[in-house]
Amino acid sequence: MQTAKKNSPFFVCGQCGLESRKWLGRCPDCGAWDSLTEHQQTQLSSAGRQTAIAQPLHMTTTEENTRLITGIGEMDRVLGGGIVPGSLVLIGGDPGIGKSTLILQLLASLAAKNLQMLYVTGEESAAQIRMRAERLKISGHNISISTENSVEAIIDLAGRMHPALMAVDSIQTMYSEEVGSAPGSVTQVREATARLLQLAKINHIPVLLVGHVTKDGAIAGPRVLEHMVDTVLYFEGDRGQVFRILRTVKNRFGSTNEIGVFEMQDSGLIEVSNPSALFLAERPVNVSGSVVLPSVEGTRPILVEVQALVSRSSLGTARRTAIGADPQRLALLTAVLEKKLGIALYDHDIFLNIAGGIRISEPALDLGVVAALLSSYLDKPIDANTVVCGEIGLAGEIRAVGQMEQRVREAGRLGFQTFLMPESSARQLQSSKKEKMRVLAVRGVSELAEHLFTA
């Protein structure tokens, strides 16, 4: 029989989860002041401990073919083809972005297949969930609602119901009765997640967790929370925009950096199967400072509009603002233009925007940024049927980027006729003739203006 014994107290940082044997005024890991709180650790003695067992790898079975297909194409895409039984999925996002709406629509889609769903909410009442379901025109059949906060009670309920999927909204409101700290604390979040992870793995019940985010955009709670789960999804978007991006940052059962695109309407979230056409629907024609970039998010090519505005500054220090792109990368590319082309931009304000509210982080954005900057600075529009793509080095050279054939194919599908790309990519590309695409190869930024602004 296992017996418990008390050890000396330890201290846990409420911001980052760091554990220390002594109290510190400032956390040495995250730098937060007065964030360490005292906890009492309980360990089990070795008496009565069970013997661990191992199983040969070739005798283990896989559940890859038993994924739950949600019926929401964009959701299935970011999950790698559906929900794996026994997996733990964490969804984070800003307040009011639509996380609870997405969860309810997901449960309704699976419930329509006559599967039993369990929705555990610690933030809303059952009546509030019912009001949202009526607004989304969801009948609620095969969906059970629980407003329980105790992890032990939730595990007992799930063990009795054995649902096909359980959603917990949110993990920060759950608490374990065996932990003395308040709900939402680092210890409670970590313990609650560990209990739900054990439930998922033992009973093969997929569990969907909703997590709050901090002001920096990271999921609140200890960083170990993201390491414990199988999949981490971020629901992004500006509440002033109708577009929502569901982005995969970790997935043990599929590719990462995959995105799903949704449009927020009165009836809920509507999946966007052709985001390229949607992002370019309001693109201005024959306007300087605008160019189209074929980006790749995960396995999906998406065409986005890169906008730049370069104007003379009336202040002592010129401003550099980037929305949807890395501001440090914008500063670097501006310096390359000044050095290699002799363009004086030190006294000009520069504003960069990726239209549609999407964020692009891949190096292929470089050529689009430089082309848009040149177009705005020279006040010369770029041909509306031209797309650009490539990485730019500090020496002004234009480097190749991956998945160029998919980019060319997507641009050709939307009717673009000219593709400006790195010379090395143009040599390796074999599908340009098949796609009837005119390819312009460039080696450095010094050739860029000649290709873009000469007839």
User: What pLDDT, on a 0 to 100 scale, did the predictor assign at position 294?
Assistant: 96
Fold exhibited by the domain 70-273: Rossmann fold (3.40.50)
Residue 315 reports pLDDT greater than 90: no
**Tokens 């990519």 identify what position?**
425
The bridge status of strand 165-169 relative to strand 300-312 is unpaired
Q: How confident is the prediction for the chain on average, in pLDDT?
A: 87
* 98 labeled part of a ligand binding site: yes
Per-residue pLDDT, averaged over 282-301, amounts to 91
The mean-pLDDT minimum among 59-63, 67-71, 324-328, 373-377 falls in 59-63
* 392 labeled part of a ligand binding site: no
Fold exhibited by the domain 278-453: Ribosomal Protein S5; domain 2 (3.30.230)
* 383 labeled part of a ligand binding site: no
Integer Cα distance of 233 and 258 in angstroms: 10
CA-nearest of 101, 343, 91 to 230 is 91
Give strand ranges (E) for 258-313.
259-265, 268-271, 290-297, 300-312
* 382 labeled part of a ligand binding site: no
* 350 labeled part of a ligand binding site: no
Integer Cα distance of 197 and 116 in angstroms: 20
Integer Cα distance of 305 and 282 in angstroms: 10
* 436 labeled part of a ligand binding site: no
Per-residue pLDDT, averaged over 62-67, amounts to 66
Integer Cα distance of 120 and 104 in angstroms: 11
Per-residue pLDDT, averaged over 138-151, amounts to 94
pTM of the model: 0.80
CA-nearest of 190, 217, 199 to 120 is 199
Backbone angles phi, psi at 244, to 5 degrees: -130, 135
Q: How many CA atoms lie within 13 A of 323 on its CB side?
A: 12
Domains of the chain, residue spans: 4-44, 70-273, 278-453
pLDDT in tens, 233-282: 999 887 777 889 999 999 999 888 788 999 998 889 999 988 898 889 88
Residue 15 reports pLDDT greater than 90: no
Residue 451 reports pLDDT greater than 80: yes
367 touches 399 (CB < 8 A):
no
Per-residue pLDDT, averaged over 305-320, amounts to 91
Share of the chain above pLDDT 90, in %: 58
* 100 labeled part of a ligand binding site: yes
* 129 labeled part of a ligand binding site: no
Three-state DSSP at 331 gives helix
pLDDT in tens, 200-211: 999 999 999 998
